[in-house]
Amino acid sequence: MMKNLIKILLTVMIVASCASSASAQFWSRKKNKAAEDSVFVSGLNDEQELIRSLVARYAIPTIQYEPVTPPKFWKCGIMNQLGFSQVALSNWAAGGSNSLAFNAYINATANYNKGNVSWENRLQTAYGFIESAKDGHRKSDDRLIIDSKFGYRTVKDLYMSATFNFSSQFTPGYDYPSGENARLVSRFLAPGYFKLGLGMEYKKGTWLSLNFSPLTAGATVVTDEDLRKKYGNEIDEEIRYQLGAQLNLRNNFVIAKTFKISSALTLFSDYKYKPKNFQVKWDFLAELQINKYFSTILNINMIYDDNVKNIEKDEITGLDVIRGPKLQTMEMLSVAFTYTFGTYTK
């Protein structure tokens, strides 16, 4: 009996010892893991340490998010067009003349749009020439145009607007009367046109813009004294000021994916000088895209300005005589290499 009791006691002591050792190892590993997972922070009081230890027992959730692209309020772009043609003749029975023609056009835009505020800016430059063995170098195109329009939306499609326009040319331009020497008719700032207007604009998407500015100040600058009479200025009047109303209508139509048409009509009436005689300017552009880089372009420009006179030679006296205004027209049909940068807006 005694021997059996001793065996039982020994068995209990062995089991207790093993359990104690396993428990110690378990709590030791748990303590070490907790120490590894915890971050020691000094300077905490008992309450803060208690809160820190309780929070440390829970895993911090991982937040999955995608980067947010900040909105872009400015959209800027440039369109470049280059046209070129060349003719070389040698012993050509039908006759003709060697010639080289080149024209370049750049249209740069920088537009700002945020909330009810919009600000549209456009710079247009164009230059072209024809070089022939018979007539030499002659300019075929020369334009410098800056447009800026600030608008604040009052209702859905109606804006209070302020518009600015400047137009001139880069190099001297000549007229070539039959059988006569070339006659100077323009140069930089001779003339140069400035206009600043305040009014309202109605816009419907990108296809329609109607701007009416009942208060428009204008200035015609002619720095060359010999050309002032031609453009309506007095001989001693380098700058002629105007005050009137201006209406501007712009349309953009996409007829097909590769065929686009745009039109811009501007009417100006001078309150001070013959308000019934409107100054009219109409620009028409049709573009048929051949492929990614080449397009066929038809450009038509018409101007009627009562202040711009024509200089003609009198048949009897042979002297230059200033005649009345006439309709000015320019038409250009070309196949051009076209390339755009950035976010270009037509």
What band does 148 get if pLDDT is binned at 50, 70 and 90?
Answer: very high
pLDDT for 36 equals 47
What band does 53 get if pLDDT is binned at 50, 70 and 90?
Answer: confident
What band does 66 get if pLDDT is binned at 50, 70 and 90?
Answer: confident
Of the candidate ranges 25-29, 60-64, 67-71, 336-340, the one whose mean pLDDT is the lowest: 25-29
- 76-99 average pLDDT score: 85
Sequence-distant (≥ 6) Cβ neighbours of residue 106 within 8 angstroms:
78, 79, 80, 81, 123, 124, 125, 126
Whether 117 has a pLDDT exceeding 90, the answer reads yes
H-helix or E-strand spanning residue 4: helix 2-37
Look at 159 and 346; give whichever has higher pLDDT: 159
pLDDT for 215 equals 97
Other C-beta atoms lying within 10 Å of the C-beta of residue 329: 11
- pTM for the complete prediction? 0.78
Q: 209-239 pLDDT, tens per residue?
A: 999 999 999 999 999 999 999 999 999 999 9
In the CATH hierarchy, which fold is given to the domain comprising 79-342?
A: Outer membrane phospholipase (ompla); Chain C (2.40.230)
Per the prediction, the chain carries an average pLDDT of 85
Whether 83 has a pLDDT exceeding 70, the answer reads yes
Whether 183 has a pLDDT exceeding 80, the answer reads yes
pLDDT for 343 equals 85
Whether 6 has a pLDDT exceeding 80, the answer reads no
Q: 240-264 pLDDT, tens per residue?
A: 999 999 999 999 999 999 999 999 9
- Long-range contacts of 249-254, Cβ-Cβ distance < 8 Å, separation of 24 or more: 249/209, 249/210, 249/211, 250/208, 250/209, 250/210, 251/207, 251/208, 251/209, 252/206, 252/207, 252/346, 253/207
Whether 179 has a pLDDT exceeding 60, the answer reads yes
Whether 126 has a pLDDT exceeding 60, the answer reads yes
- pLDDT > 90: what percent of the chain? 58
Of the candidate ranges 27-31, 276-280, 325-329, the one whose mean pLDDT is the lowest: 27-31
